[in-house]
């Protein structure tokens, strides 16, 4: 197997604190794997035998309940650590990770986690930050589901997606991977029907531009207003 070039990862937060020699050493323990669109990196409930760093592409992380309802937990983008079940002392993956587009990831054996952790304390920091910011996001979602109604939640979800995986196009900002109404519904706790209605209405108002598995935000500002239920937002600075 071809070894991974240091330059691909050197400026990721996870590797930032390490000397080049250390980076090489860490990379030597990993192998790089290609995941074609639609394939699973790991399945919910499977033994957590690896942890990963996504080099290229986008993954959809989904979870099914005991009763069989499916939800989209989040999307993983390039540069992110994922599948770190071992770090949280889980023996099995709590969710399934599916490639939303053709993707490439580095895989380390879970068994080396503890050794690597003691050898590279910066790995602990970056894992903590990864998990920590995921916790922040998830708690934000709980607040949204508690306090907001569907239209606001969908607006929030799209804005988050655009921030995380938005690609500038002339019409606005396009979400950089195929995403269906059903996917958005599973992220926001609603149905594809309601999402479809909302997007149709927004399209008429020039807020978004739709398509099959495709969403472009045309007016992020007005979406922000909708998301916050806040009529004054347009007059304020972008990041208060």
Binding residues vs its own copies (CB under 8 A):
63, 65-67, 69, 71, 73, 87-90, 94, 114, 117-118, 121, 124-125, 127-129, 131-136, 138-139, 141-143, 145-147, 186, 188-189, 228-230
The rounded distance, in Å, linking the Cα atoms of 219 and 181 is 19
Tokens matching residue 57: 């592409």
Which position among 102, 210, 225, 233 is part of the footprint of DNA (CB under 7 A)?
210
The three-state secondary structure class of 4 is coil
Q: Least distance to DNA from the beta carbon of 233, Å?
A: 20
192 is a contact residue toward DNA (CB under 7 A): yes
205 is a contact residue toward DNA (CB under 7 A): no
CB 171 within 8 A of CB 216: yes
Q: Least distance to its own copies from the beta carbon of 211, Å?
A: 25
71 is a contact residue toward DNA (CB under 7 A): no
The rounded distance, in Å, linking the Cα atoms of 29 and 108 is 6
For DNA, the closer CB: 15 or 35: 35
Region from 2-10, 43-51, 148-156, 220-228 binding DNA, contact rule CB under 7 A: 148-156
Phi, psi at residue 61, to the nearest 5°?
-100, 120
The rounded distance, in Å, linking the Cα atoms of 231 and 76 is 32
Phi, psi at residue 159, to the nearest 5°?
-65, -40
229 is a contact residue toward DNA (CB under 7 A): no
56 is a contact residue toward DNA (CB under 7 A): no
211 is a contact residue toward DNA (CB under 7 A): yes
Which position among 24, 112, 191, 228 is part of the footprint of DNA (CB under 7 A)?
191
Distance of CA 11 to the CA centre of its chain: 19
User: How many C-alpha atoms does 98 have within 13 Å on its Cβ side?
Assistant: 16
Contacts of 210 (CB under 8 A, 6+ apart): 199, 200, 203, 216
Q: Least distance to DNA from the beta carbon of 99, Å?
A: 14
The rounded distance, in Å, linking the Cα atoms of 190 and 187 is 8
Binding site for DNA (CB under 7 A): 149-151, 180-182, 189-194, 196-197, 199-200, 203, 210-214
């Amino acid at each position: 197997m071809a070894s991974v070039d240091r330059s691909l990862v050197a400026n990721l937060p996870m590797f930032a604190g390490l000397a080049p020699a250390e980076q090489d050493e860490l990379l030597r323990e990993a192998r790089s794997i290609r995941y074609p669109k639609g394939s699973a990196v790991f399945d919910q409930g499977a033994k957590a035998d690896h942890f990963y760093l996504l080099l290229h592409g986008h993954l959809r992380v989904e979870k099914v309940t005991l009763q069989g309802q499916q939800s989209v937990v989040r999307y993983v983008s390039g540069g992110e650590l994922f599948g770190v079940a071992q770090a949280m002392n889980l023996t099995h993956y709590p969710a399934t990770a599916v490639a939303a587009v053709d993707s490439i990831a580095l895989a380390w054996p879970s068994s080396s986690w503890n050794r690597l952790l003691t050898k590279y304390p910066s790995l602990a920091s970056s894992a903590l930050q990864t998990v920590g910011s995921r916790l922040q996001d998830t708690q934000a979602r709980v607040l949204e589901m508690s306090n907001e109604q569907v239209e606001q939640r969908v607006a929030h979800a799209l804005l988050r997606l655009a921030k995380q995986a938005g690609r500038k196009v002339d019409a606005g900002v396009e979400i950089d991977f195929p995403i269906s109404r059903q996917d958005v519904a599973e992220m926001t706790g609603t149905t594809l029907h309601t999402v479809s209605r909302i997007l149709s209405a927004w399209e008429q108002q020039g807020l978004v531009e739709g398509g099959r598995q495709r969403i472009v935000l045309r007016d992020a500002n007005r979406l922000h207003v909708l998301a916050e239920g806040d009529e004054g937002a347009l007059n304020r600075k972008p990041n208060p």
